[in-house]
Amino acid sequence: MTELLSAPPRVITVGAALLEEALAAQAIETIPVSWRPPLPGTEDALAAVLADPRRAAANATAVRRLTSAAPQLVGVRRASELLPGRTFLHAGPPITWERASGPLRGALIGAMLLEGLAADEAEAERRIGTVTLEPCHHHRMVGPMAGVVSPSMWMLEVRDAEHGGSAYCSLNEGLGKVLRYGAYGPEVLERLRWMEEVLGPVLAAALARTGPIDLRGIIAQALQMGDELHNRNRAATSLLLRELAPAIVEAAPEQAAAVLRFINSNDHFFLNAGMAASKACADAARGIPGSTMVVAMARNGTDFGIQVSGLGDRWFTGPAGVPDGLYLGAYGPADANPDIGDSTITETCGLGGFAMAAAPAIVRFVGGEVADAVNATRSMYEITLAEHPAYQIPGLDFRGAPVGIDVTLVARTGILPVVNTGIAGRVAGTGQVGAGLVKPPVEAFTAALTALAEAL
């Protein structure tokens, strides 16, 4: 402990610039902090939560569990095996049909038609009250965009080989007019039926042959190949396809070409596997008393909600924002629905917007220049607890991705998570209209912080 007195100290200065200047004038090495006051109204809760003696150890445990999880793709299962009867799932925090936005309503209508619970749109709307709506997150599942899961759908099954948990995500339908963006036209339903009858069973048979596929490894490699695993999944999809292709051919020679062509035509096929992997990792970090780490961020098209490790399954929500992004064709901001989907589970685990610096090919989404992507990732180190030991970013000298969002750091810096997202059309049935960035509502984080303080 006398080390401090053995040589002139290197001093981190936080506060008055004058004191930093006085040290610099003595040729003392300084590291100035660019400090600003915390978010207004958070002072008392911050003081209480930061003084919680459990916090540091709880957060260390939480982020260690999140980053040491070993998600493996082990199979595909029918949702009906995993859900109670007459239950449909949706993305984000809990919501009713009455408050649901266009794309979520569209996807629910599509699911009613798919399951044969209604013959047309009008009947589907009338009979929606006969099914129970619950968030995917309440069933260890995640769903992209509307995230609607109905009993006949196939779910990717991911197991955490380190801690033993399981997580599930539906199969990706591709781009354009698809159910997850609220489209429910004939071609949408036709594709879903093909997935139900062909894609699901073939994948099940193929995965039985391959054995568990190491998703942590694929994600780590894909980051080094230009994916950030949310808005770009091209490398990861290619890597997964390489793993699966021989087994698909062996398992189903008749259907292999169609299945491989389907996967190959969809750069986002891996997204759902990456989401289930992220869900498995985040769930490994749940329920640690005193932890201030975020274990879920999810949107239902109306609300943006988060869950925090130390606060059980409670949701803290704020209004979902409209993404700022690039639009397809003639669509524009007026066509955009507020933010929707469970895919922010990737950001929760250090991917997506947090790993933007790994994906220079899609910097158009974050302002157009590679430096913007680098800055986006760098800023996330300010609000995260750790750097991921396996997910590395080549452009930052292979620094680990920023992971483990700490609500106290969000309140202290006012820096919100950077979230990449697709943009759904606001009118049910439209489908995807663009992609970009969205700002989570600050009140979700301040409400969680207040609840942490109240729980002391």
Partner 1 sequence: MSDLVLLRRGVYHDSVSLMRVSSSLSALPGVQVAVVAMATDLNVGLARDLGFDVPDADPSALLAAIRADDADSAAAELDRLLEALSARSAPGEAAQAPPRTTRAAARSRPADLVLVSVPGEHAFAEAMDALEAGLHVMVFSDGVSLEQEVALKRLADERGLLVMGPDCGTAVVAGAGLGFANVLKPGPVGVVAASGTGAQQVTCLLDLAGVGVTHVLGVGGRDLSAEVGGLATIRALRMLDEDPGTELIVLISKPPSAEAAAAVEEVASSLRTPVVRALLGDTGTDLTAATGEALRALGRPVPQWPSWTPPAGSFTGGGPLRGLYAGGTLCEEARRIAGRGEFTDFGDDTYTRGRAHPLIDPSLRLEALGRCRAGDVVLMDVVLGHAADPDPAARLAPAIAAGPAQVVVALVGSDGDPQGLRRQAEALTRAGAWVFASNAQAARFAKGTA
Instruction: State the virtual CA torsion across 348, 352, 358, 361 in degrees, nearest 10.
Output: 180
For residues 22 to 41, the per-residue mask of contacts with partner 1, x marking binding by CB under 8 A and - elsewhere, is xx-xx-x--xxxxxxxx-x-
Task: Extract the tokens encoding 252.
Answer: 């189903």
Sign of CA dihedral 342, 288, 407, 319: positive
For residues 411 to 430, the per-residue mask of contacts with partner 1, x marking binding by CB under 8 A and - elsewhere, is -xx-x---------------
Q: Does 19 bind partner 1 (CB under 8 A)?
A: yes
Stretch that binds partner 1, among 310-318, 337-345, 357-365, 378-386 (CB under 8 A): 378-386
- Order the strands of the 294-300 sheet from edge to edge: 316-319, 303-308, 294-300, 340-341
Q: How far is the CB of 62 from partner 1 (least distance, A)?
A: 15
Q: Which of residues 333-372 bind partner 1 (CB under 8 A)?
A: 371
Taking the C-alpha atoms of residue 219 and residue 235, their distance in angstroms, rounded to an integer, is 9
> 37 vs 329, which CB is nearer to partner 1?
37
Among 77, 78, 314, 378, binds partner 1 (CB under 8 A): 378
> 31 vs 119, which CB is nearer to partner 1?
31
Q: What is the DSSP letter of 190?
A: H
> 27 vs 334, which CB is nearer to partner 1?
27
Q: Which of residues 282-301 bind partner 1 (CB under 8 A)?
A: none
* 8 A C-beta contact, residue 181 and residue 145: yes
- The DSSP H or E segment spanning 25 is helix 17-25
> 34 vs 81, which CB is nearer to partner 1?
34
Please state, in angstroms and as integers, the Cα–Cα distance from residue 96 to each residue in 131, 151, 244, following that order: 11, 19, 39
Q: Which of residues 43-102 bind partner 1 (CB under 8 A)?
A: 43, 46-47, 50-51, 56
Taking the C-alpha atoms of residue 75 and residue 117, their distance in angstroms, rounded to an integer, is 28
Stretch that binds partner 1, among 243-251, 272-280, 346-354, 373-381 (CB under 8 A): 373-381
Q: Does 381 bind partner 1 (CB under 8 A)?
A: yes
- Residue 70, helix vs strand vs coil: coil
Instruction: State the virtual CA torsion across 60, 313, 45, 54 in degrees, nearest 10.
Output: -30
- φ, ψ of residue 331 to 5 degrees: the values are -70, 155
Among 15, 84, 176, 368, binds partner 1 (CB under 8 A): 15
Task: Extract the tokens encoding 313.
Answer: 């399954």
Stretch that binds partner 1, among 115-123, 183-191, 218-226, 406-414 (CB under 8 A): 406-414
End-to-end CA distance of the chain: 33
Q: How far is the CB of 405 from partner 1 (least distance, A)?
A: 14
Residues that bind partner 1 (CB under 8 A): 1-20, 22-23, 25-26, 28, 31-38, 40, 43, 46-47, 50-51, 56, 371, 374-375, 378-379, 381-382, 408-409, 412-413, 415
